[in-house]
Amino acid sequence: MPLTFLVGGARSGKSALAVRLASEWEGPVVVLATAEPRDDGELAARIARHRLERPASWETVEEPLDLVGELGRAPERAFLVVDCLTLWAANALEAGWSDEAIEQVAAEAATLAAGRSSPTVAVSNEVGMGIVPATPLGRSFRDLQGRVNTVFAAHADRACLVVAGRTLELT
């Protein structure tokens, strides 16, 4: 079944589109959420808002790092939403992973997602279309996220840029 890759800016409608696509599936749906609220009240509110946008019958798995493991554990007949790769990459960097390790795991995850028998939608932010970050860490993260996005787009049957709630098919 196909892997769909949704990429765009913050609050562009990527997650809403992923929910809409999953809602069309007649079987079970699993959401693999990579965000951790920690002590961040604003992020906790975002997570709560995302949960409210999803049907209560959907399973949510909260896992900040083990993307490959959770992809492997997802039920084969379930529609899988991975939201989002940007937070996953940031979590991996914070955990001390090297860029090379992050890219390798991203490639493994993209291969697994593309090979599932049920659909998978992976959501990510396009962080490279704005200003050049002022710090080396910011520039490094921007570049790394671009490479992670490129890996997922290369494995995807369908890739879309989401802007202002609208989609543009990427070929």
Which residues are catalytically annotated?
Answer: 50
- Calpha distance 96→91 (Å, rounded): 9
- Calpha distance 151→154 (Å, rounded): 5
- Calpha distance 161→125 (Å, rounded): 10
Chain centroid to CA 146: 13
